[in-house]
Amino acid sequence: MSFELLDECGAKKIVLCRDAETGLRGVIAIHSTTLGPAAGGLRMKAYADEREAMRDALRLARAMTYKYAASGIAVGGAKAVIIGDPSTHKSDELLRSFGRFIEELGGEYSAGEDVGTNGHDMEILAESTQWLVSLPEEAGGPGDVSHTTARGVRQAMRACAEHVFGSPELTDRSVAIQGLGQVGAKLARLLAAEGARLVVADIDDERARAVADEVGARVAAPEDILESDVDIVAPCALGDAVNEHNVNRIHANIVAGAANNVMASEAIADRLQSRGRVYAVDYVANAGGIVYDDWMIQRPRPATFDHDAALARVDAIYDRTREVLQRATADELPYRVAAERLAEATLHNASR
């Protein structure tokens, strides 16, 4: 079963992690180390079974390979998952145990925050592994990177707006944001400051109303928001946001958000494009959060980090998204294929 999944995703390695004492069941999926040691978030989720967890980890790891390659960052792609509800199953002992599995890989994989994990969890992991790309500033890391992720998604939106409307300006554009976690809420604030008209939704209704009150947005139901009659929809929650059930009901001209694996499948992505909709390829659009990762995995780690240079790399998401859209249009390609070719050119040059 594991080899079938590796073949399916073109991945290098799956590491299964089990600790009976803490109840840990986890997966580390390493897709590629062509560009350098691999990194990717550590997700904690109540998966139905081990196969679902492995498939999700491998799919996300592949996206990380392409995200780093498309961003020109010399890091390979990986992802880790812990099976369990983070609200009830997570413990410091479980995280320390998983950290020991990461440490045994000797730097081949470095972990970061993801769905179901946070900065405090990274500090607990740091007690048993040095290989982390997410840490609070007081613990020697870059701190909260959700602001750079949101900034990068905004740049991807601007590139899509230029492609569709002839101008990158988002003033008076209507935008619907699905998911108001750390990134979605910051994106809402950035867009509101630019003069966009917002519709927002979150499964936490209290959070949705708080953000809406702050930025002057209208609240919609989470299950309906991607079908809003707006210029742009921004999926910023979990993956598979655009799927068989809603792909033909998306009215927006543009789909550009922070979620990983926004499209449920390649066929869904192609169907959306065939309807004349433009989408920002997710691993290009949401790459703003990885600009510190190559610095974090260097040994010895440089004493200082050039934050201005990092923000310049985030803002370059505009240029990369623009390049993908232009290449896709010129060569009559799906947007996803144009992005893959951009990333694969980097991987090919590195492997020569």
CATH number for 104? 3.40.50.10860
Residues 135 and 176 in one domain: no
Q: Which of 13, 67, 79, 90 is catalytic?
A: 79
CB 261 within 8 A of CB 281: no
Tokens of 292: 């510190």
294 belongs to a structural domain: no
Do residue 191 and residue 47 come from a single domain? no
Whether 238 maps to a domain, the answer reads yes
CA distance 243 to 220: 19
Identify whether residues 215 and 195 lie together within a single domain. yes
State which of 139, 161, 191 marks the end of a domain.
Answer: 139
131, HSE (Cβ side, Cα atoms, 13 Å):
22
My answer on whether 162 and 218 are in the same domain is yes
Residue 304 in domain: no
Amino acid at 268: I
Residue 303, domain member (yes or no): no
Same domain, 327 and 270: yes
Looking at the structure, do residues 134 and 152 belong to the same domain, yes or no? no
**Residue 322 in domain:** yes
Q: For residues 276 and 338, state if they share a domain.
A: yes
Residue 281 domain flag: yes
Are 16 and 119 within one domain?
Answer: yes
Do residue 279 and residue 329 come from a single domain? Answer: yes
Q: Which amino acid, residue 187?
A: L
231 part of a folded domain: yes
Active site (annotated) includes residue 79: yes
Same domain membership, residue 334 and residue 188: yes
Q: In this predicted structure, what is the pLDDT of residue 309?
A: 85
Please give the backbone phi and psi of residue 318, each rounded to the nearest 5 degrees, phi first. -60, -50
The answer to whether residue 275 sits within a structural domain is yes
The CATH number covering residue 188 comes to: 3.40.50.720
HEC string of the chain equals CHHHHHHHHCCCEEEEEEECCCCEEEEEEEEECCCCCEEEEEEEECCCCHHHHHHHHHHHHHHHHHHHHHHCCCCEEEEEEEECCCCCCCCHHHHHHHHHHHHHCCCCEEEECCCCCCHHHHHHHCCCCCCECCCCHHHCCCCCCHHHHHHHHHHHHHHHHHHHHCCCCCCCCEEEEECCCHHHHHHHHHHHHCCCEEEEECCCHHHHHHHHHHHCCEECCCCCHHHCCCCEEEECCCCCCECCCCHHHCCCCEECCCCCCCECCHHHHHHHHHCCCEECCHHHHCHHHHCCHHHHHCCCCCCCCCHHHHHHHHHCHHHHHHHHHHHHHHHCCCHHHHHHHHHHHHHHHHHC
Among the candidates 105, 122, 139, a domain finishes at 139
pLDDT in tens, the chain (352 residues): 578 888 888 889 999 999 999 999 999 999 999 999 999 999 999 999 999 999 999 999 998 999 999 998 999 999 999 999 999 999 999 999 999 999 999 999 999 998 899 989 999 999 999 999 988 888 878 888 899 999 999 999 999 999 999 999 999 999 999 999 989 999 999 999 999 999 999 999 999 999 999 999 999 999 999 999 999 999 999 889 999 999 999 999 999 999 988 999 999 999 999 999 999 999 999 999 898 888 888 888 777 778 888 899 999 999 999 999 999 999 999 999 999 999 999 998 987 6
Together in a domain, 161 and 283 = yes
Q: Provide the number of structural domains found in the chain.
A: 2
Together in a domain, 19 and 135: yes
Q: pTM for the full model?
A: 0.87
Domain end marker among 124, 139, 154: 139
- Segments forming the whole domain that contains residue 231: 146-287+318-347
